[in-house]
Amino acid sequence: MADTSDFRNGLIIKFKNDLYSIVEFQHVKPGKGGAFVRSTLKNLRTGRVLENTFRAGEKIDTVRVERRKYQYLFSEGDSLVCMDNETYEQINIPRDLFSDGVKFLKESEEVEILFNGSDIISVDIPIFINLKVVETEPGFKGDTATGALKPAKLETGAQINVPLFINEGDLLKVDTRTGEYSERVKS
């Protein structure tokens, strides 16, 4: 059992019968009244963020979680099969534990899985993934000034909007959080 003096960014706590990660916190000592801790908490299951105020010294339940690196192998129905990089053990993970960026995940990409004992809490995919454009309209030299975009299909089957100068076969860096084109990668 810990208290609010043990708060730090990234600490996992049990709050309202669910697991939350502390995104940020601030100890406040007003001129009148008791001290308190203002915090921003992120639900590890739903991703919902909430603000909460704790009294200074209030007891909290901390949860010890383990992060392990896995390799994404393939999709199988409503789950994705991943392999432990150390033991080579394969596990099926429900698709809903992955973020929306799962459509950019290609085979053999490394993911980080958060465990509470043997329960999977969440799966973190890389923020940026390099993907090849397999289908788009041809680009023209000099089409960079307008900032116009066109649709492009990537090797994973996902579609994003890209600048007009992008051609088929180009390697792109894609932001998996927003699903947006970041930059062209030199191969």
CA 141 from centre of chain = 35
Nearest-angstrom CA–CA distance, 57 and 46: 28
CA 67 from centre of chain = 13
Confidence category of residue 154, pLDDT binned at 50, 70, 90: very high
Backbone angles phi, psi at 30, to 5 degrees: -70, 165
Contact 27, 42 (CB under 8 A): no
Nearest-angstrom CA–CA distance, 31 and 39: 20
pLDDT at 22: 93
pLDDT at 51: 96
In CATH terms, the fold of domain 128-185 is OB fold (Dihydrolipoamide Acetyltransferase, E2P) (2.40.50)
Confidence category of residue 100, pLDDT binned at 50, 70, 90: confident
- Return residue ranges of the chain for CATH 2.40.50.140: 66-124, 128-185
The pLDDT mean for the chain works out to 89
User: What homologous superfamily does CATH list for 66-124?
Assistant: Nucleic acid-binding proteins (2.40.50.140)
- Return residue ranges of the chain for CATH 2.30.30.30: 2-62
Which residues are within 8 A (CB) of 73 and not within 5 positions of it... i.e. 6 or more apart? Answer: 80, 81, 82, 83, 90, 107, 108
Mean pLDDT, residues 127-140? 87
CATH assignment, 2-62: 2.30.30.30
pTM, entire model: 0.74
Q: Which residue has the higher pLDDT, 165 or 7?
A: 7
Mean pLDDT, residues 6-32? 91
